[in-house]
Amino acid sequence: MSESETITVEVAYATPERQLILQQSVPVGITAEQAIQSSGILEEFPEIDLAKSKMGIFGKLSKPDTALIAGDRVEIYRPLIADPKEVRRKREAEGKRMKKGGGDAEVEAP
């Protein structure tokens, strides 16, 4: 392969208010972090701190130095507001059950 070859990848980030997926042509061998930096997404979302943010490729956690292949979508993840395991423990301690699809299920009296 020559160094002039390129692949197409996407970089994605979302907040509760806005989602952005940027498609770009990049050199073969580019890493996930390099694709993020070259995409312009950091200018759109200045709150992103790559030193603290986790990233993945199609929902699977990846390291910043992971080499990308054609068609990959690099996703930048926001930190969780609440630990899902802790929320589940709290609900259980309060005697609440979850219904399918989230929300509280009504507890039937014995």
The 10s digit of each residue's pLDDT in 23-78 is: 999 999 999 999 999 999 999 999 999 999 999 999 999 999 999 999 999 999 99
Evaluate whether residue 108 is within a structural domain.
Answer: no
How far is residue 36's CA from residue 50's CA, in Å, rounded to a whole number? 9
What is residue 34's three-state secondary structure?
A: helix
Range of the domain at 46: 1-103
Task: Look at the pTM and tell me if it is higher than 0.75.
Answer: no
Q: Tell which wins on pLDDT, 83 or 57.
A: 57
Residue 97: band (very low, low, confident or very high) from pLDDT cuts 50, 70, 90: low
How far is residue 36's CA from residue 5's CA, in Å, rounded to a whole number? 19
- Bridge partners (DSSP) of residue 96 are none
Evaluate whether residue 109 is within a structural domain.
Answer: no
CATH number, domain with residue 3: 3.10.20.280
Evaluate whether residue 57 is within a structural domain.
Answer: yes
